[in-house]
Amino acid sequence: MNQQLLKLENLLRCHTVCRQLHSLGHRRTSARWQRVFASASPGRPAQQCTGPWHTDSLFGAALSQHRLLVTKKEVRPRKSQLSSTKSKKEVEVWIGMTVEELARAMEKDTDFIYEALLNTTMDIDSLEADSHLDEVWIKEVIKKAGMKLKWSKLKEDKVRENKDAVRRPQADPALLTPRSPVVTIMGHVDHGKTTLLDKLRKTQVAAMEAGGITQHIGAFLVPIVLAINKCDKAEADPEKVKKELLAYDVVCEDYGGDVQAVHVSALTGDNLMALAEATITLAEILELKADPTGPVEGTVIESFTDKGRGPVTTAIIQRGTLRKGSILVAGKSWAKVRLMFDENGKPVNEAYPSMPVGIIGWRDLPSAGDEILEVESEARAHEVIDWRKYEQEQKKIKEALETVEEKRKEHQEAHRKDREKYGNLHWKERSFIKYQERKKQKLLRPKEKVERDSNMLPIIIKGDVDGSVETILNIVDTYDASHECELELVHFGVGDISENDVNLAEAFHGVIYGFNVNTSKVIQETATKKGVKIKLHKIIYRLVEDLQEELSSRLPCIVEEHTVGEASILATFSITEGKKKIPVAGCRVQKGQLEKQKKFKLIRNGGIIWKGSLTSLKHHKDDVSVIKTGMDCGLSLDEEMIEFKVGDTIVCYEENEVPAKTSWDPGF
């Protein structure tokens, strides 16, 4: 602007000089004419010519005015720039927002974000529009844009009030009343747990089960204590069991401890009364008490879906008294109690502490082990469930952000290594090399996918009750042979096998395992058409054995060598065929037989120096295909560079493919 002003001033000065010269010439000419006119007209006054000088003054005024305007124009942008600096734009951001979300919040395009992160440790090449940004990079972009940031989500999280339902404080001991003991029966597979329950309950639970394994939790009111079972057998040794329990800090009364050990036979019913009396005595010594008043507190023991009654739970009441119409929450599900029944299936109106009860009225199926709490209304139940779902979402978000942070660190480390690797290269060369590497990776992907699919077993697990599914999942969690074949749990649930299960199995090329569930004829036909395997079991360890077999079938076969015969080299010589000299070994078969069509190996001093096939096998001068034990022969190899030595051994063998077996041992 100053240069333009100088140019204008120079032009004005030049114009003024021209006008002055013109005026000077005009004055001289006018003076001559004035003298002429004066001589001709002595009475006429002479007129002054002042026009040009007036023009110069106008130009000066215009120049002054122009300077004033220019000065004002130069000052105005500075004032506006200062005002914009004072009022920076505020951008609402949150941790974990994507590149696209940040650009939208700043009212910029994604290219602006990429440019702002140039010359930083961020790997720009791996950054996509949906990539999550860490707090450091969000601040960096906002700072370079000259804007202010505002953490929106964090403030909202702090403001939200905890609406969860919790247990009540401990009750006054004076309000507690005696309760029945709650006992858990534990034992190994097929050790008589169900038969023991059968005798105590006077029912036939064992007769209805396959393999003598109780898959469901049977809750009832008889008190039960530790028992040494199968004492009716001749080889039974209860004392040995007691000594073995010492290693696990289970000290029986006979050895100075406080654990009652009762020798029983669940099969014959021997000594079961003594077992019940011992349990009652222990309960009296422990003085078990509970508070039967106030809102209900309990635990889900089992849950399943009944076709006629919907979601059903078996629960143990720990505090309060449960009645029809009570509003309960458990996990992320709630219920308005419509019906309750005891261990025999008979309806009951109330359930007291330590009483097992079946509850009908759940909106969703809670999980075994979930805490049951009574709330005052359905609105309060919805409030609790919403809070728990929100809390779970926040936990997932936190885990996702932690994963993002780990990935960011991995990318940062990889970027650092790349910079060390490509630091001295021009950016064009660096881009070309990276393009070539990506191209190679794309070419390898189909092959890698085939190998990955063959070494992976996706499974879907369906069970009749929640506890059964939980048990199977616990067994699956012990899988430790991922280096052989990956075991991927696609889906699990309670209930019969559905069309959705078949569709999932088809999509993931997986296998469906069902435990104590049914499959309709239509579903079975659909699965057959889609090539989906459905495997149903009623014994839990049979299901695990089937899973082991399926895993083993995904493994490559093991190649085993089977020796057909052995021969010792007694002499070496060579024969001429054309221009070539071929080494020949004179052998005698020591064991088995040599078959020309099989594979051979040459062993010297216990080490294998050659593997391959024979080009010739002769007995005397005749070509033969088999040489038996005790016979002499001459043979040559398919590799002419191998030299024979007296004392070497020729072994004839065949390779057999043997199915591999998974190394996973679930402990059954």
Dihedral sign of CA atoms 467, 469, 471, 477 in order: negative
Q: Give CA–CA dist 140/113, Å, rounded.
A: 10
Residues 6 or more apart whose Cβ sits within 8 Å of residue 124 = 114, 117, 118
Helices 378-422 + 427-454 axis angle, to 10: 130
Q: What tokens appear for 395 in the block? A: 């936990």
Q: What is the largest CA-CA distance in the chain?
A: 172
Mean pLDDT by 10 residues, the chain (668 residues): 52 52 45 42 41 46 48 42 53 83 88 84 75 83 86 56 89 87 72 71 52 46 67 84 84 82 81 80 83 93 86 92 95 94 89 92 90 95 93 85 78 74 68 68 51 76 87 89 91 90 93 92 93 92 92 90 94 86 93 94 93 92 92 91 92 92 86
Can you spell out the DSSP letters for 419-488? Answer: HHHHTTS-HHHHHHHHHHHHHHHHHHHHHHHHHHHHTEEEEEEEESBHHHHHHHHHHHTT---TTT-EEE
What's 213's DSSP letter? Answer: -
Q: Quick one: pLDDT at residue 73?
A: 44
Helices and strands (H, E) in the chain, number of each type? 15, 27
Return the number of other C-beta atoms located less than 10 Å from residue 518's C-beta. Answer: 12
Q: Quick one: pLDDT at residue 154?
A: 46
Helices 99-106 + 135-144 axis angle, to 10: 30
For residue 555, count CB atoms less than 10 angstroms from its CB and return exposed for 0-12, middle for 13-18, buried for 19 or more.
Answer: middle
Q: Quick one: pLDDT at residue 358?
A: 93
Q: Quick one: pLDDT at residue 514?
A: 94
- From 478, 460, 474, 554, select the one nearest 515 (Cα to Cα): 460
Q: Give CA–CA dist 503/490, Å, rounded.
A: 12
Q: Quick one: pLDDT at residue 41?
A: 41
Q: Quick one: pLDDT at residue 114?
A: 85
